[in-house]
């Protein structure tokens, strides 16, 4: 045969679509899209020795949130005690002060009250500058052995909401935008200003089983 | 040598088109031109890659029933490779009772086995990622806190200190 320039015939690629559709359906079936979401927490490291290491906290710096076996919530600090019997009251729909507002008042201590955590001046860098903050405050969430997980999460959620609202207010005040639109450094600045100081203590069996 | 041309006869394009040159195509058979679908595989492949990148394989079958609690302030867990799951709830099969059970990696486990499980998961991770490991506790909302607390204590002992209480986004009812 004479040496001529032979053309390579085009491959029949019509089945390519079928093959790739097959792959696509396979991946659609075996994969899941849902992103897991939740309330992030940090646990304290385990006690190093047999004797429990306890940190002494002044009474005024402590806000105790106790969820009992009847799923009622008691919030107590030096200012007084408040009872919430259900989730609606926690959110402040009743006549009671919402839990988040109590937490916010506790963390801010705008009135420099003796009953609320002590204020110390700290430098947070521009544009926040030197502001008084309650850097020693602790929100201690305690629960009973038979508390339901649902109520516990609801209480946790309200406390986190208080911090989130404080951060949002801080962002509006110092950076004039919402917290989500800040850069990472600015967000860290705000987080340093209002750190989440939530302690999860071991439960106490108050009411019995 | 067999000529390939015999299998795919090459048409001379001039024969069909040039005859109609300069005439209006009145009457006669009008044939619907075939749609050019040669880009179809490309499109489907693009969708395929999108799904491959954004999704993860369903790695385990759930053996416990759970209705996650709802919360409004949830954060998304990024980097799935850093997340380890602990499923807590009543067993799926009713003959196993309604007591709270914990599932680790496709089997039921006791709270005392958490430490080994965490150590195993940590060892399979990149060394740089190990301190970033997050444990997601997926528990049924009716679970008693005693169980959760035991799990939390076990996690503390295992030095898995970053945890996340898995919850659905939404308003509490």
Nearest to A37 among B159, B163, B167 (CB): B167
Q: How far apart are CA A169 and CA B3, in angstroms?
A: 80
Residues 6+ apart with CB under 8 A from A208: none
E strands present in chain A: 31-32, 37-42, 62-67, 73-77, 80-84, 120-123, 130-133, 138-143, 198-200
Q: How far apart are CA B44 and CA A17, in angstroms?
A: 7
* Chain A environment of B74 (Cβ under 8 Å): 37-39
Question: To the nearest whole angstrom, how far is the Cα of B24 from the nearest Cα of chain A?
Answer: 33
Percent of chain B having pLDDT more than 70?
Answer: 79
Is the CB of A145 less than 8 angstroms away from the CB of B145?
Answer: yes
Is the CB of B51 less than 8 angstroms away from the CB of A27?
Answer: yes
Residues 6+ apart with CB under 8 A from B151: B86, B88, B102, B111, B114, B137
Is the CB of B143 less than 8 angstroms away from the CB of A147?
Answer: no
Is the CB of A203 less than 8 angstroms away from the CB of B149?
Answer: yes
Encode chain A (209 residues) as per-residue pLDDT tens digits. Answer: 556 778 888 777 778 878 888 888 888 887 766 677 888 888 877 776 555 556 667 778 888 888 888 888 888 888 788 888 877 777 777 777 888 888 888 888 888 887 788 888 888 877 788 888 888 888 888 888 888 888 888 888 888 888 889 889 988 888 888 888 888 888 888 888 888 888 876 655 554 43
Nearest to B162 among A21, A42, A44 (CB): A42
Q: How many inter-chain contacts (A to B, CB under 8 Å) are there?
A: 165
What is the complex's ipTM, to 2 decimals?
0.71
Q: How far apart are CA A17 and CA B86, in angstroms?
A: 40
Point out the least confidently predicted range of A25-34, A183-192, B80-89, B97-106.
Answer: A25-34
Q: Are A179 and A167 in contact (CB under 8 A)?
A: yes
Residue of chain B whose alpha carbon sits nearest to that of A155:
B71
Domains of chain B: 70-169 (3.30.420.270)
User: Looking at chain A from residue 67 to 126, which residues have their Cβ under 8 Å from any Cβ of chain B?
Assistant: 67, 87, 91
pLDDT confidence of residue B99: 85
Q: What angle do CA A39, A43, B72 make, to 5 degrees?
A: 10
Residues 6+ apart with CB under 8 A from B165: A38, A39, A41, A153, A156, B69, B71, B137, B139
């Amino acid at each position: 045969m004479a040496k001529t320039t032979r053309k390579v015939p085009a491959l029949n690629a019509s089945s390519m679509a079928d093959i790739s559709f097959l792959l696509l359906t396979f991946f659609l079936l075996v994969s899941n899209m849902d992103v897991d979401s939740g309330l992030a927490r940090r646990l304290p490291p385990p006690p190093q020795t047999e004797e429990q290491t306890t940190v002494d906290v002044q009474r005024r710096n402590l806000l105790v949130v106790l969820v009992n076996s009847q799923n009622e919530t008691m919030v107590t600090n030096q200012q007084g005690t408040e009872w919430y019997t259900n989730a609606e009251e926690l959110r402040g729909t009743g006549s009671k002060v919402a839990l988040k507002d109590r937490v916010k008042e506790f963390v801010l201590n705008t009135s420099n009250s003796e009953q609320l955590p002590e204020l110390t001046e700290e430098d947070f860098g521009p544009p926040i500058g030197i502001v008084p903050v309650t850097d020693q405050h602790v929100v201690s969430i305690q629960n009973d052995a038979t508390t339901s997980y649902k109520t516990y999460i609801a209480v946790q959620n309200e406390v986190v909401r208080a911090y989130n609202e404080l951060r949002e207010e801080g962002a509006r005040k110092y950076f004039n935008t919402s917290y989500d639109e800040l850069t990472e450094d600015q967000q860290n600045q705000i987080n340093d200003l209002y750190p989440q100081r939530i302690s999860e203590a071991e439960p106490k069996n108050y009411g019995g089983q | 040598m067999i000529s390939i041309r015999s299998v795919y006869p090459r048409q001379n394009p001039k024969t069909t088109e040039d005859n109609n040159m300069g005439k209006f195509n009145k009457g006669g058979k009008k044939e619907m031109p075939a749609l050019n679908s040669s880009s179809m595989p490309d499109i489907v492949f693009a969708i395929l890659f999108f799904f491959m990148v954004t999704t993860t394989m369903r790695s385990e079958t759930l053996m416990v029933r759970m209705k996650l609690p709802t919360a409004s302030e949830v954060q998304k867990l990024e980097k799935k490779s850093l997340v380890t799951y602990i499923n807590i709830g009543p067993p799926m099969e009713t003959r196993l009772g309604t007591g709270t059970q914990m599932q680790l990696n496709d089997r039921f486990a006791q709270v005392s086995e958490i430490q080994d499980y965490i150590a195993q998961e940590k060892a399979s991770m990149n060394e740089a990622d190990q301190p970033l490991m997050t444990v997601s506790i997926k528990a049924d909302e009716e679970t008693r806190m005693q169980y959760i607390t035991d799990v939390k204590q076990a996690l503390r002992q295992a030095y898995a200190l970053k945890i996340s209480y898995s919850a659905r986004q939404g308003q509490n009812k």
